Amino acid sequence: MAQAIMGQKELTAQVRDAGLCTGCGACVNLCPYQVFYHDRTIVLNACDIAAGRCHAFCPRTPVDLEALRERFFEASEFTPEIGPVKAFFITRAADAQLRRQAQHGGTVSALMSQALQEGLIDAAVVAEGRERFMHDGATVHQSEELRKRAKSKFIVSPTIAEFNRTARSQAQRIGVVATPCQAFALAKMRFKPELTSGDNPIDKLKLLIGLFCGFTLSWAKLIELLQTRTGLNEITGMEVPPGEGVLEVFTAAGALRFPMEEVEPLVREACRYCIDTTAEYADLSVGSARFSENWEETRSWNQVVVRTRTGLELMERARESGVLEFRDVPAGNLETLKKAALKKKKAAVKNLVEKSGSADDLLYLNAQDRVIAALR
């Protein structure tokens, strides 16, 4: 299925109004007509361009997945569950203070920091928290600035809108930390570089670190829930500890626990149709580690799936310089990750079939694609 590039009107009908919008921000800062507001994009003015970049880059418009795989993945390294795997590690930042500031082992912040210090990139686009628990993309140029933006925000950050802005600035070599849907939007830009030349050069993207991602929550619904128990500006972090069935919310006064039955209705609808857990289109992807029942120990480590030569070289330099600590990967770890990722893909396809009412209509996915077809 070749990609049919359309305009703003179709993007609104096929994605925003259809509940498929992930809030990635890829359609923002390309033109003056769309902006980000709270945790979603809104149209300020109608645009009559028939084939727009917003539609081309959106991760929720149809695209030829096989062509993307051929363009980005080595066939011998491809796995249907988690994309390409060049190498798999368990690591954490050697800097213990960074680990305390980070979500898990601080691998993401440590690697981005190393990339800035080495000059591989001169700007890093990450997510940062703002007032009233809203989030935004931010561009930093100093490695110390990264640790202030560490930790996972389970709310959408319009990181790709910030990438679009930064790509037009003086920055020449950009690194991005992205969720899977955001990494996919950047892959679509890389796939159609002719659309990004001129004012928004995608070839400035030199490093893409992906995050594993299970879901994001609706900002409006989440703050309604949180406000029942704490002030929004008191929140210092969040976690979903494996197997405990709760969302932990950390505040200066201690941790609050919300049962997942209360949290699940807050998951953004778009995430229910998501087939990517591990950011398959990144240079390397990072999630929390899984190696023992003792979460207090495990939570300070990360799983890392390396996908490209750029990712592998960065990991090798991090090992040599001592920026990252490595430990043995327990037997079966990669298989467990694959199983979890496959479960999410199958659930997404099921949800898409339910939404469209037809097993042959998967909305933004091609039901005939060989990997998608195998999921049905």
Ligand X SMILES: Cc1cc2nc3c(=O)[nH]c(=O)nc-3n(C[C@H](O)[C@H](O)[C@H](O)COP(=O)(O)OP(=O)(O)OC[C@H]3O[C@@H](n4cnc5c(N)ncnc54)[C@H](O)[C@@H]3O)c2cc1C
Contact residues for ligand X (CB under 6 A)? 102-109, 126-127, 149-154, 157, 159, 177-179, 211-214, 216, 286-288, 302
Neighbours of 1 (CB within 10 A): 14
Amino acid present at 98? L
> Minimum Å distance from CB 331 to ligand SF4?
28
Q: What is the DSSP letter of 279?
A: -
For ligand X, the closer of residues 104 and 165 by Cβ is 104
Pairing of strands 254-259, 284-288: unpaired
In the numeric block, the tokens 């389970």 are attached to 154
For ligand SF4, the closer of residues 23 and 105 by Cβ is 23
3-state helix, strand, coil in the chain (%, to 5): 40, 20, 40
Dihedral, CA of residue 220, residue 226, residue 230 and residue 233, to nearest 10: -40
For ligand SF4, the closer of residues 54 and 150 by Cβ is 54
| 210 binds ligand SF4, rule: CB under 6 A | no
For ligand X, the closer of residues 195 and 286 by Cβ is 286
- Joined together, the tokens standing for residue 276 give 């990517």
Contact region with ligand SF4 (CB under 6 A), list: 92-100, 209-217, 222-230, 239-247: 209-217
| 237 binds ligand SF4, rule: CB under 6 A | no
Q: Which does 311 bind (CB under 5 to 8 A by kind): ligand SF4, ligand X, none?
A: none
Query: Which of 150, 202, 263, 271 touches ligand SF4 by CB under 6 A?
Result: 271
* C-alpha–C-alpha distance, residues 307 and 83, integer Å: 8
Strand-pairing partners, residue 305, are 88, 285
Q: Which does 24 bind (CB under 5 to 8 A by kind): ligand X, ligand SF4, none?
A: ligand SF4
Q: Which does 166 bind (CB under 5 to 8 A by kind): ligand X, ligand SF4, none?
A: none
For ligand X, the closer of residues 127 and 367 by Cβ is 127
Strand-pairing partners, residue 137, are 127
Q: Which does 150 bind (CB under 5 to 8 A by kind): ligand SF4, ligand X, none?
A: ligand X
Residue partners of 222: CB distance under 8 A and separation at least 6: 133, 154, 155, 266
> Minimum Å distance from CB 174 to ligand X?
14
Q: Which does 164 bind (CB under 5 to 8 A by kind): ligand X, ligand SF4, none?
A: none
Q: What is the DSSP letter of 103?
A: S
Which 3 state secondary structure label does DSSP give 205? strand
For ligand X, the closer of residues 150 and 363 by Cβ is 150
Residue partners of 217: CB distance under 8 A and separation at least 6: 154, 155, 263, 266, 267, 268
Sign of CA dihedral 207, 185, 221, 354: negative
> Minimum Å distance from CB 170 to ligand SF4?
25
- Applying CB under 6 A, what is the total number of residues that bind ligand SF4? 25
The two most distant CA atoms of the chain are separated, in Å, by 56
Q: Phi-psi bin for 63: left (phi > 0), alpha (psi -120 to 50), beta?
A: beta
Q: Which does 352 bind (CB under 5 to 8 A by kind): ligand SF4, ligand X, none?
A: none
> Minimum Å distance from CB 143 to ligand SF4?
26
* C-alpha–C-alpha distance, residues 136 and 25, integer Å: 10
> Minimum Å distance from CB 193 to ligand SF4?
18
Q: Which does 89 bind (CB under 5 to 8 A by kind): ligand SF4, ligand X, none?
A: none
* C-alpha–C-alpha distance, residues 348 and 275, integer Å: 6
* C-alpha–C-alpha distance, residues 325 and 35, integer Å: 41
> Minimum Å distance from CB 227 to ligand X?
20
* C-alpha–C-alpha distance, residues 247 and 27, integer Å: 31
Binding mask 7-26 for ligand SF4 (x = CB under 6 A): ----x---xx----xxxxxx
Rule CB under 6 A: which of 26-85 touch ligand SF4? 26-27, 41, 58-60
For ligand X, the closer of residues 200 and 298 by Cβ is 298
Q: Please report, as ranges, the residues that interact with ligand SF4 according to CB under 6 A.
A: 11, 15-16, 21-27, 41, 58-60, 179-181, 185, 213, 215-216, 270-271, 274, 276
